[in-house]
Amino acid sequence: MSLLDRAITLLGSPVPLRTQVVRKLLRLLPVGSFSARLDACAFDRPSHAFCLYNAALEAKALGHTAFTAIEFGVAGGNGLMLLCQYRDEIQRELGLTIHLIGFDAGSGLPPSTDPRDLLYTWPPGSFQMDVPKLQARLAGRVQLILGNVAETTRTLTLPADAPLGAVIFDLDYYTSTRDALTIFDQANVLPRVWCYFDDVEGTASNALTDHLGERAAIAEFNSTRNPLDAHLALAYAFKFVPPEPWHPRIFVYHRPSHPDYNRCLATEPHTLALKK
């Protein structure tokens, strides 16, 4: 992109220029609380920070000392490295442990013949991982699980004291996302699990519809589960104006049958005093 195109994009953004500058400064100099910077959207991937932080708040309010967060589709590892950064800060601020797990084939997008995988958009082998380089960078801070997600997801055993609280889905394909969604067959989850789906928004190049890709996998997941027991729903609890591009990609998995589902997370009754 040329400098002129960059300037046009910057000036044409619905986010005011002053807001963009403040966000950039806060990313370079992260002062203030995690919550305040999240309200300002001052993270490279605010979607990931949002899911991780809200899962941490829920886990802590329910009395847990730890929870698990997962990224499906690690690719080069940039998202996982940022999750490590956010994890470390949230742990210091809220005083609980966050276990991170990354799932990936390692060899890039696998060959497929399913038209719902948008094969006209994704060349096979895309997003191949440099496994030794990423493992060296992670330095044991994250559990990295390589292999076919249909197999690795089903064989995963979460720590008994660390229920699933947040999931980042970035698998591109319908088939891979469908297989990864079996993670919610786990018994050990929080009553509500915060999720981000990277590819539920359409572009001119992918010609996405509700019957393709991640959107098709989500619709199928909901149709095969009792919606009172397992439900994925858009979360609109944002304070930002105008809306951010990542907002429609936030989902929440609800498990109403969870013994803590109806447990109120607030410590004091809400009040609304009469104004003088």
Q: What's the pLDDT tens digit per position in 165-185?
A: 999 999 999 999 999 999 999
Would the pLDDT of 240 be above 70?
no
pLDDT band at 225 (very low <50, low <70, confident <90, very high): confident
In percent, the amount of the chain with pLDDT more than 70 equals 94
Q: Cα-atom radius of gyration of the chain, to the nearest Å?
A: 19
Minimum mean pLDDT among 95-104, 114-123, 243-252: which range? 243-252
- pLDDT for the residue 235: 46
Q: Are 265 and 61 in contact (CB under 8 A)?
A: yes
When pLDDT is averaged across residues 117-130 and rounded to a whole number, the result is: 93
C-alpha to C-alpha distances, 121 to 72, 118, 205, 214, nearest whole angstrom: 19, 6, 7, 14
pTM, 2 dp:
0.90
Which token pair is 169?
Answer: 């889905």
Closest listed residue to residue 21, CA positions, set 1, 41, 3 = 41
Minimum mean pLDDT among 78-82, 172-176, 191-195, 222-226: which range? 222-226
Would the pLDDT of 239 be above 60?
no
Average pLDDT, the chain: 89
Q: Are 180 and 169 in contact (CB under 8 A)?
A: yes
* Nearest-angstrom CA–CA distance, 177 and 180: 5
Question: Any idea what DSSP says for residue 154?
Answer: T
- pLDDT for the residue 273: 86
pLDDT band at 6 (very low <50, low <70, confident <90, very high): confident
